[in-house]
Amino acid sequence: MTTADLRVVMIVANDVTNDSRVRKEAAALAETGAEVTVLGVSASGLPSREMLDGALIVRVAVPFALREERKRSRTARRNWRPPMVGYKHRTSYVARSERIQAELKELKADSGHAIARAKAGQRNPLKFKAGVGTRLLRRARWKAAERASWVRKGVGNKADAPFKFSWRAYDGVLHRLPWPAPWRKLHPEALDLEVAFGDLIDRLEPDVVHAHDMHVIGVATRAAGRAKLRGRTLKVVYDAHEYVAGLSMYGARTRRSIAAWANHEREYIGDVDRVVTVSPAIATRLQAEHKLKLKPTVVMNTPNPADVSVEVADIRSRIGLASDVPLLVYSGGVTRARGVHTAVQALVDLPDVHLAVVCVPGVATDAVRALQSQAIELGVDNRLHCLEPVKPDEVVAFLRTADVGLIPILRYPSHEMALPNKLFEYAFAGLPVVVSDMPSMKEFVDRTRIGEVFAAENTADLAAKVRTVLADLDSYRERVADPVYQQEVSWSGQAANLRSLYGELTGRQLEIVRPGGPVEKKRPHLLIGPVNSAGQAWLWATAVEREVPDVKVESLTTGSGTFDFKVHRTGTYKQYRTDLRWQLELTSYALREVTHVLFEAGRPMFGQLRGQMWTTDVPILEQAGIKHGVLFHGSEIRDPALHRARYRYSPFRNPEDELTQRLQSGNDNMRRHLQGYDGPVYVTTPDLLEFVENGIWIPLAVDVEGFASNRPVLEREVPVVLHAPSASALKGSAYVDPVLTDLDARGLITYQRVQGVPHAELAEMVKDADIVVDQMLLGSYGVFACEAMAAGRVTVGHIADPVRDLLPTDLPIAEATPDDLSEVIERLVAERDSARKIADAGPGYVRDLHDGHRSVEVLLPFLKNELGPRLGAETEAGGE
């Protein structure tokens, strides 16, 4: 096998956007020509696809049903109280209180009405006294209810304290216990990810599945097991982003939670084929703990110079700080375990120094607010700057004007073995560093002499080391800029390690065959599909490439293949509906190569689930900078109600007809999707302009030379009349068939009715016919009529007056309706010279309007990212 045959699926439990390691590793493998698909979790809850440096990113909507059910049941257990002890919800108490108050107010109202009636002499005294007694009883009842409600609430409040205390105590003890820690119970999201990713991996049939971090190692190994059932070999690579058993603790990440994730990793790591990790220390530890046959390959998370964007404001400009003011920076996640509070405390001993904290995921978190409160208490809040994060490719350039990069992380086993990404980001930004004395970082900094090391959580030592670096800043910067050091921390060497591992794993030589970075599209490339209705997409593509050689155009069909229309790319209906592998291959190709897309019939291009329309694919295309428009052929957009109102002859005369109702509903939905859509909207026949606001007419195209015929017209004593109804004109054939059958029986014509024959065979029948009858009900003309005119045949059809008025020249189609079709055919047969004039005008009309050059003129503005001309405007595309 070649590298191009290598299929890799990477899986990760985040949305990939800010995971630089996943992005870089996917790109490093895609550079070899391997087909790389990354499955991530959609942060928005909506599925999406994106092309990134040659790899396809597929974000999957994961509902996390198991995780949410665990949360719900856990909350329910902690909220349980014995019956009648308090109210389960505060709103229940409020509702009960308001009900009692309403009843007491109603009671007062009843008393007022009764007293007023008694004073007016309108009531029997005995009845009045009985009413007084009833009201007293009612008042006593509701007053008792009021008291009971108050008591119940009070009892509930008293009972809440021991319940809550008990649960806090229970949780406090339980979360400190590393055993038992069953991951299936504590982290059911690992099984949620199996449900989301497992089937996708099976359907993609990769050669290698690469599991990023401990959340998805089980998903990968189970996929390999299922592949064996199908007789396939699926290799598994586990990428340990950190030392799981030694993760730092904060918030919900308790000792028990960490132990559960470690158990999850331990259960599956023995089943993987290779392990990758981020530092030599973690590699050694993993091999020893899990008795791995091969030592994990180290791929450090160093920056890729190719990903560094310089088109970004720097950090000093953002905070408005002069260049001569010392500036420290910390860039990354802000939690207690990251030790940023130590740096804030150190500002007291560094009176002239400012600290900028680039907060990931953002400033609006409790941890950041705690830092800000700490700074206010220490009186250094005017020198602490908390900033929103920038994009991954902007980090290095953003940091470049600081003086020193800080990594003050606290002592946890995972931290002791880590070489954080920010260490290398600081290096590419040209910043010396001051780091806490975690063994791996200490060894690295001492060896490279790019900064200083302080004792973790020692504020005075941190301040002293910062002063040391600031006092000799030029020397430290010189060592950071050393080409040998820069090469050591560059991503290129790490990517080579990854490719080497994959070469050993798959038995192939992985070499770079295409440069990294975004794919540059050198010329316009239009994809039209997924229908190729009547071969139109192919014909437009051919016409564009003929008229404008610098533009590449492809047509796509996903039909049944009944007809033999030419097309560039094909897929079956089953692939279009259910074959994820086919869908993603097409998506990947389009995002890499295509610059423009035209959606036919309002259908999505890259696969369709029930109810989906072209708008499903719009976010994917816009993310890739691909321009798009939509193209309608007829039945998918035509409004039956409006057609019925405007046209005397309509296939939609009966609004109760099942087909009419289905079309009405579907097309109303189609028009709703058009509202707010800002791409160009094309229609292939002029009558459709009535149903599409701001529609653009793109004339149908036919192969004029291919339909040219030298066979005489109406020379036979009994002329041949051909009728080939399309799906949209089937109801019209109910009017045509009886008429032509009757004329055939009377010996006036030879009637040929064909349907479902290959297009090439139909073309020969058209060229041999004398008269071709098109549709009778839609009021316009389509491909079949154009082909008949191109062949120089007498063409008959019903063209409504509003449609004829829109056309730039006289249309050589003999007008007929269901009411007079017989008379029209008889007249054409009888008055043959007049009929031949109609036939003779056909080829010229088609060459002028339907040989493809007019269609190209309409499409060119779209390919230049402008809207095309509207029918009726004075434009170059036809001067209509």
Quick: pLDDT tens for 729-773: 446 678 899 999 999 999 999 999 988 788 889 999 999 999 999
Q: Residues of 368-399 as b/e, b for ≥16 C-beta within 10 angstroms? A: bebbeebbeeeebbebbbbbebbebbbbbbbb
Domain identity same for 536 and 679: yes
Domain identity same for 560 and 676: yes
- CB 836, CB 713: distance < 8 Å: yes
Q: Quick one: pLDDT at residue 875?
A: 36
Burial tier of 712 (Cβ tally within 10 Å: 0-12, 13-18, 19+): exposed
Q: Quick one: pLDDT at residue 879?
A: 36
What are the pLDDT digits (tens) for 778-833?
A: 899 999 999 999 999 999 999 999 999 999 999 999 999 999 999 999 999 999 99
- CB 222, CB 32: distance < 8 Å: no
Q: What mean pLDDT do residues 479-499 have?
A: 88
Q: Quick one: pLDDT at residue 87?
A: 80
Q: How confident is the model at residue 325 (pLDDT cuts 50, 70, 90)?
A: very high
The secondary element (H helix, E strand) that includes residue 452 is strand 451-454
Cα distance between residue 608 and residue 619, in whole Å: 15
Angle between helices 20-30 and 491-506 (to 10 degrees): 60
Domain identity same for 272 and 316: no
Cα distance between residue 555 and residue 567, in whole Å: 6
Please tell me the pTM assigned to this model.
0.76
CATH assignment at residue 42: 3.40.50.2000
Domain identity same for 614 and 721: no
The pLDDT of residue 727 is above 70: no
The pLDDT of residue 865 is above 70: no
The pLDDT of residue 5 is above 70: yes
Q: What mean pLDDT do residues 645-649 have?
A: 87
Domain identity same for 572 and 681: yes
Domain identity same for 596 and 688: yes
Does some domain include residue 516? no
Does some domain include residue 860? no
DSSP label at residue 253:
B
Q: How many domains does the chain have?
A: 5
Helices (H), ranges, 244-279: 255-269
The pLDDT of residue 562 is above 90: no
**Tokens encoding 8:** 């890799």
Quick one: what percent of the chain has pLDDT higher than 90?
62
Cα distance between residue 831 and residue 367, in whole Å: 92
Does some domain include residue 879? no
Q: How confident is the model at residue 728 (pLDDT cuts 50, 70, 90)?
A: low
- Helix, strand, or coil here: 557? strand
The pLDDT of residue 15 is above 60: yes
Domain identity same for 729 and 785: yes
Taking CA atoms, 842 is separated from 53, 79, 716, in Å, by 51, 82, 20
Q: Quick one: pLDDT at residue 771?
A: 97
Out of 118-122, 306-310, 582-586, 650-654, pick the least confident.
306-310
Q: Quick one: pLDDT at residue 701?
A: 96
Burial tier of 227 (Cβ tally within 10 Å: 0-12, 13-18, 19+): buried
Phi-psi region of 149 (alpha: psi -120 to 50; beta: other; left: phi over 0): alpha
Taking CA atoms, 209 is separated from 197, 201, 220, 227, 750, in Å, by 11, 8, 6, 11, 65
Q: In what order do the strands lie in the sheet with 235-240?
A: 48-52, 55-60, 35-41, 7-11, 208-212, 235-240, 274-277, 297-298
Q: How confident is the model at residue 380 (pLDDT cuts 50, 70, 90)?
A: very high
Q: Quick one: pLDDT at residue 399?
A: 94
Question: What's the one-letter identity of residue 117?
Answer: R
List the end-to-end C-alpha distance of the chain, in Å, as a whole number.
57
Domain identity same for 440 and 551: no
- CB 531, CB 633: distance < 8 Å: yes
Does some domain include residue 509? no
539 bridge partner residues: none
The pLDDT of residue 869 is above 50: no
- Output the furthest CA–CA distance in the chain (Å, rounded): 114
Quick one: what percent of the chain has pLDDT higher than 70?
95
- Last residue in a domain, options 174, 198, 218: 174
Cα distance between residue 832 and residue 821, in whole Å: 16
- Last residue in a domain, options 670, 697, 724: 697
Q: Quick one: pLDDT at residue 874?
A: 35
- Helix, strand, or coil here: 31? coil
Pairing of strands 274-277, 235-240: parallel
Burial tier of 758 (Cβ tally within 10 Å: 0-12, 13-18, 19+): exposed
- CB 3, CB 511: distance < 8 Å: yes
Domain identity same for 315 and 447: yes
Mean pLDDT of the chain: 89
Q: Quick one: pLDDT at residue 880?
A: 33
Q: Quick one: pLDDT at residue 328?
A: 97
For residue 873, give every residue at least 6 positions away whose Cβ sits within 8 Å of its Cβ, in sequence order, or none.
880
Q: Quick one: pLDDT at residue 878?
A: 37
Q: How confident is the model at residue 601 (pLDDT cuts 50, 70, 90)?
A: very high
- CB 398, CB 315: distance < 8 Å: yes
Apex 608 CA angle, 604 and 610, nearest 5:
120
Q: What mean pLDDT do residues 260-266 have?
A: 95
Residue among 690, 678, 603, 681 nearest 638 (CA): 690
Residue among 107, 93, 76, 104 nearest 148 (CA): 93
Q: What are phi and psi of 802, to 5 degrees?
A: -60, -30
- CB 787, CB 702: distance < 8 Å: yes
Q: In 246-383, where do the E strands start and end?
A: 274-277, 297-298, 327-333, 354-360
Helices (H), ranges, 507-578: 536-547, 573-578
Q: Quick one: pLDDT at residue 35?
A: 93
Cis amide linkage into residue 530, ω under 30° from 0: yes
- Last residue in a domain, options 636, 667, 697: 697
Does some domain include residue 487? no
Domain identity same for 805 and 838: yes
Indicate the length of the chain as a whole number.
Answer: 880
Does some domain include residue 502? no
**Tokens encoding 35:** 């087909």
Q: What mean pLDDT do residues 244-252 have?
A: 82
Residue 634 structural domain: 525-697
Does some domain include residue 489? no
**Tokens encoding 398:** 């953003």
Cα distance between residue 86 and residue 71, in whole Å: 23
The pLDDT of residue 313 is above 90: no
Domain identity same for 776 and 801: yes
Domain identity same for 449 and 548: no
Cα distance between residue 647 and residue 653, in whole Å: 10
Cα distance between residue 230 and residue 105, in whole Å: 75
Does some domain include residue 493? no
Q: What are phi and psi of 599, to 5 degrees?
A: -85, 120
